[in-house]
Structure 1
Amino acid sequence: MGLGDIRYEDVIAATEEFRSLGRDDFLQQYGFRRAKSYEMVLDGLRYDSKAIVGVAHGHATGEFLRAGDFSGGAATVARCLRDLGFVVETGETFHNPAALLERLRRLKVSRGPGNPAPSRHQPLSLLWAISREADEWPRLTSWPQFRDEVGPLLVEFGLPNAKATPEYPFWHLRGSGLWEVQGIPAELTEKMPKTSILDAHHPQAGFKEEAAGLLRDPVTRLDAIATICETYLQDVDRQALFERIGLAGYTTAGSLSSPSEDESSDAGTDEYGRATGPAPRRDTTRSVIVRDEALARKVKELEGDRCQICDTTLRYLNRPYSEAAHIRGLGRPHHGPDELQNLLCLCANCHVLFDGLEIYVDPDGLVRGTRGDREPRPLRRDPGHPMDETHIGYHRDLCNLNARKPAVG
């Protein structure tokens, strides 16, 4: 039952099965779990090394080994594959956000003749896929849906005069190590399949499970969006892009909204344009986040209903008036916690500016304007009011992502 019988071609046969079945089905069929430490890398794709060796042994001897039949690790599986000329790496890169961001910075993007700017096809496709993660859609998308949704996106936000070819990022994003394509027969994967093959087989593609798992964390997801934009899309109108791509939630720290311009009023008017009757009404059904009102009262009491940014104390109906503002917004896509450490006491004006990403708190605790048009002033902090610097940093990163000028803070 030694591994010495395995030949190079046996490993290749195992990888072909892996691609044909897809990772999950391959592991389930042969009785393996995902690799925790060692992964084999071939043509930009990553394989669970122990599973590949177990199946390769079956191709070599007719005896397919299962996970419990032999031990994995550097001295066995990794050594076997390396002796045959394959590259084996530790799988730690799939289990920490820093490595994910580094892979995003090092995409193998193409450059057109005479145009030094990197192609936007892969970055835009990744942002589109991240928006699906934020909305909790399935991580894999069929080729027809990818083509129909990403294709127009490439036309609208791609480089000027660049041809929109969604089939290229659909396939070549595999080289990032974060992306997989399932459903193409192994014999058709030696080179990029033609669109006719994609149309015929309807393969699926998307983030690998490890990358998708990391992107489910709102903080990592924001870092990934910022990394892609700052590395490849510096000259793109981000607000327009986010609105178009389904990431509009990242243009505000809260849930600011404006009335739809398409809504029309049925109220009658006189010759001077004044309403002649009561404002119209309509029935609606909506789902809202239930906030802890006791926390809101507590932060207002701690700060004496005085704005922590401008020191204003408003009065309304002969009473002090202030607002409890979440630093990292509740609900999608920010999923901030409803806790005292995530709350500020603000006046209505500063609350709007804070949620609208017009002001932020820098690492030194100074409140600054994202447009550089405000005199910095310290954020007032009551000793009994703890604030989580992670939430403040998250809000600052949002401001940086949307700033039209160089990075803030």
Structure 2
Amino acid sequence: MGLGDIRYEDIIAATEEFRDLGRDSFLERYHFGRATSYEMVLDGLRYDSKAIVGVAHGYATGDFLSSRDFSGGAATVARRLRELGFVVETGETPRDRMALLERLLHLKVSRGPGNPAPSRHQPLSLLWAISREADERPRMIPWSQFRDEVGPLLIEFGLPNAKATPEYPFWHLRGSGLWEVQGVPTEPAKKMPKVSSLDAHNPLAGFTEEAAGLLRDPVTRLDAMATICETYLEDVDRQALFERIGMAGYTTAGSLWSPSEHEGSGAGLDEYGRATGPAPRRDTTRSLIVRDEALARKVKELESDRCQICGTVLRYLNRPYSQAAHIRGLGRPHHGPDELQNLLCLCANCHVLFDGLEIYVDSDGLVRGTRGGSESRPLRRDPRHPVDEAHLGYHRSLCTINARKPAVV
């Protein structure tokens, strides 16, 4: 029995059957129990990883696997799913994840003469590489691409008056134990190749397979970003940095949308600036995550349409109005689950502030402002409405890497 026969489309076919049958019926049909550790997360939904892989193997080969056929255990299943580009999560905090964060915390960064601040070359390069993992792009990058993309980044966000020398992080990140370089005609123990040699041979560099596998997990990835930002990039405009490297999704907890400045503002205007006709229309194509509306109704019912943050009960068309807000956003890059434990009942105002990382829930259950100055208040919770502290912790981490001081606690 080999899992190498399973393709991406086989996993998708298995998830479609999972949704059609429902979790319990799917597991019963193929003789699987519920996952106790590893779960696959796709478009905000959670799947039992072994069951999905066992059924996907059937789609690929005609041989449907049962739970007893996985001699390598759930970790082997998770490894294959990650190889295919899927997100797999576990409730545990494995030692290898802690080791990754520890290595990031102790990068061998240089300090310039007369400047006690650590160089930003390695941290910025790592964030750039993490953005590639978030987009599921190849982990190994040719020198020419690294030079052309990271070089300008070092000028824009590096220390004042620091030279842009992308060759240094490209080579010296090997000292972190998280990075490798391939294709340089010299022994790894020897000194760094000259730029002319890098240009001539165009070697590859990137995270090791182990580090890349860990960073495919959204929670580990966010922890890694927070470690880098808080340790080395305290004075950097992180929102500008995230937008610059294609990680704007980390500047919000949800899917806040603002009209583009380049979109038409309406029909033509007369001499007084008033519209002279109806607003124009344009065709668009969008891919939307399908939310479980029953869950949204459930959280509103449990909380009686009262905002869990400010206590307001809005009325619209003579009816109570509230919004079901995901604590950890659905879809990329957060890949939060669509479950009751990941939902809050909020008014429209608090929903915008929560998604915009202006407010958060601290470890004591108090709602605070990320910019300070606002009075804290307890998050209202109905005893029948469970909230997963891990999701609140994820949201706090997002606030931490986006907020200015005082830091989120």
Q: TM-score, normalised by structure 2?
A: 0.75
**Residues 95 and 210, structure 1, Cα contact 8 Å, conserved in 2:** no
SS of alignment partner, residue 315 of structure 1: strand
Match of 2:105 in 1: 105
Q: CA shift at 1:95, angstroms?
A: 5.4
Distance 2:220 2:94 in 1: 13
Matches within 5 A, 1:218-233: 218-233=218-233
Question: Structure 1's 249 and 181: CA in aligned 2 closer, same or farther, altered over 3 A?
Answer: same
**Residues 155 and 164, structure 2, Cα contact 8 Å, conserved in 1:** yes
Match of 1:390 in 2: 390
Q: CA shift at 1:358, angstroms?
A: 0.7
Match of 1:185 in 2: 185
Q: Per-residue displacement from partner, 1:331-381 (whole Å, max 9, x unpaired)?
A: 111110000000000000000000011111111111111111221111111
Q: Per-residue displacement from partner, 1:247-285 (whole Å, max 9, x unpaired)?
A: 211111101121111223461222211111110000011
Matches within 5 A, 1:4-403: 96-186=96-186, 190-265=190-265, 267-403=267-403
The aligned amino acid for 2:285 is: T
Question: Structure 1's 344 and 192: CA in aligned 2 closer, same or farther, altered over 3 A?
Answer: same
Match of 1:21 in 2: none
Q: Per-residue displacement from partner, 1:155-179 (whole Å, max 9, x unpaired)?
A: 0011111110001100000000000
Q: TM-score, normalised by structure 1?
A: 0.75
Q: Whose radius of gyration is greater, 1 or 2?
A: 1
The aligned amino acid for 1:396 is: R
Match of 1:68 in 2: none
**Residues 370 and 406, structure 2, Cα contact 8 Å, conserved in 1:** no
Distance 1:309 1:123 in 2: 36
Q: CA shift at 1:189, angstroms?
A: 6.5
The aligned amino acid for 2:302 is: L
SS of alignment partner, residue 153 of structure 1: helix
Question: Structure 1's 262 and 215: CA in aligned 2 closer, same or farther, altered over 3 A?
Answer: same
**Residues 368 and 375, structure 2, Cα contact 8 Å, conserved in 1:** yes
Structure 1 runs of 4+ aligned residues shifted over 3 Å read 186-189
**Residues 266 and 275, structure 2, Cα contact 8 Å, conserved in 1:** no
SS of alignment partner, residue 96 of structure 1: helix
Q: Per-residue displacement from partner, 1:299-354 (whole Å, max 9, x unpaired)?
A: 11111111011111111111111000000011111110000000000000000000
| Superposition RMSD in Å | 1.5
Q: CA shift at 1:186, angstroms?
A: 3.6
**Residues 94 and 210, structure 1, Cα contact 8 Å, conserved in 2:** no
**Percent of aligned positions with the same letter in both sequences?**
85
Distance 1:265 1:280 in 2: 9
Tell me how many residue pairs correspond in the alignment: 317
Q: CA shift at 1:94, angstroms?
A: 9.6
Distance 2:130 2:404 in 1: 22
Distance 1:295 1:258 in 2: 27
Distance 1:276 1:364 in 2: 55
Q: Per-residue displacement from partner, 1:77-115 (whole Å, max 9, x unpaired)?
A: xxxxxxxxxxxxxxxx99521111110011111111121
